[in-house]
Amino acid sequence: MAGMGPLEGVKVIEIASLAPAPFGCMVLADLGADVLRVDRPDRTGRQALPPTDPLCRNRRSIRLDLKDPAGVGILLRLAESADVLVEAFRPGVAERLGFGPDVCLERSPRLVYARMTGWGQDGPLAGAAGHDIDYIAVAGTLEPIGRQGERPVPPLNLVGDFGGGGMLLAVGILAALLERERSGRGQVVDAAMVDGAALLTSFLYGLRAAGAWQNERGTNVLDGGAPFYDTYATADGRYMAVGALEPKFYDELLTRLELDGAGLPAQYDKSGWPVLRQRLAATFASRTQAEWDEIFAGSDACVAPVVSPRDAPSHPHNAARGTFTEAGGVVQPAPAPRFSRTPAGPPSPPVRPGTHTREVLATLGVPDSEITALRDRGAAS
């Protein structure tokens, strides 16, 4: 499906799963990799609605029953000519099914075998079920997020599934591919969301070591504790985001709010933060979001309107940069980052599972009679 971008020519096999691994594979596909998604057989007979999930864009799809040795046999043949194989089963499942890393690397020593899990391939929790919120909880990433005196707030599933999961997976795969250029050998990439979520807090650990971070949530500069790094309601029930950390930006903030001569407490005097917050809140509540957006236009006060996902594609900056695009009638984020010589192409919409089964099997040299037999037994569809 892909054909442009810096990863053009890289072949990836993706065993279908949910959220983090598809996101990592979407990043690879966006950047030009040829990603073949191995979907499960449809045992329900239902006609699925047209696929719309952006995480599944830029793919070809084949259906294999990986509980059938014949389906596993086809997968192993595909792995022989692939650069990367991605699976997201619990530890040991791929081995039991017959396509664990030892088997695949024996057939293709240059293969990068990438494993996406929540807890990792080892450790006391490796075999346990979990979701994003569990992984970031144990990683120490969830506890600091929230208001003072209140319970932790889940940051959607962005930190575990996507930042600490799928993006880490993509980085690991790219690093392994680069190393392979020197060694000529593939390897196993163990990408765990608990590891990635912890990695994302590296900056916080530096602040703690410097004595610049308090353990109580909602009391620090970057967690909503500081009144100059927070959100404020406007007269029309919307919000403005304020990030005026540096003194010169803070001075600009007060100037635009017409509070520069109001005798407010010093910016970093924590004892004065309640008063400062009250004044900022009252001031922002006096005008609409659009009015404040106009007032802060062109300033270095580090103030921006809080825009919903519905409205983000039409924000002037996003529109000018093409930050969002459309594929299959679905508005969605465009591929990123951008490249000067090898730009990524526009994404193609997701296809129905099994769309390319016959085509892919034929490319492997499987004769029509065998393809029919595989379909008849349900090993491929």
Query: Quick one: average pLDDT of 149-153?
Result: 97
Confidence band for 79, pLDDT divided at 50, 70 and 90: very high
Reply yes or no on whether 131 is catalytic: yes
pLDDT at 1 over 80: no
CA 167 – CA 23 distance, rounded (Å): 7
Instruction: Give per-residue pLDDT as tens, 249-271.
Output: 999 999 999 999 889 999 999 99
Q: Which CATH architecture has domain 11-200+324-377?
A: 3-Layer(aba) Sandwich (3.40)
Q: Which of 39, 83, 132, 161 is catalytic?
A: 161
Confidence band for 3, pLDDT divided at 50, 70 and 90: low
pLDDT at 72 over 80: yes
Range name among 26-40, 41-55, 120-134 with the lowest pLDDT average:
41-55
Reply yes or no on whether 317 is catalytic: no
Counting residues of the chain whose pLDDT is more than 90, the rounded percentage is: 96
Query: Quick one: average pLDDT of 276-286?
Result: 98
CA 158 – CA 365 distance, rounded (Å): 41
Which residue type is seen at 173?
I
Supply the pLDDT for residue 329: 95
Q: Are 96 and 25 in contact (CB under 8 A)?
A: no
Confidence band for 51, pLDDT divided at 50, 70 and 90: confident
Query: Quick one: average pLDDT of 336-360?
Result: 95
Task: Report the sign of the C-alpha dihedral through residues 112, 113, 118, 123, in that order.
Answer: negative
Q: Cα dist. 106→55, 79, 90, 190, 320 in Å?
A: 31, 11, 22, 18, 49
Structure tokens that stand for 158 in this block:
């962005």
pTM of the model: 0.95
Confidence band for 328, pLDDT divided at 50, 70 and 90: very high
Q: Which of 42, 53, 68, 131 is catalytic?
A: 131
Nearest C-alpha neighbor of 282 from the set 244, 227, 245, 229: 227
Confidence band for 317, pLDDT divided at 50, 70 and 90: very high
Structure tokens that stand for 242 in this block:
């304020």
Superfamily of domain 229-233+239-305: formyl-coa transferase, domain 3 (3.30.1540.10)
Query: What are the domain boundaries of the chain?
Result: 11-200+324-377, 229-233+239-305
Instruction: Give per-residue pLDDT as tens, 211-228.
Output: 999 999 999 999 999 999
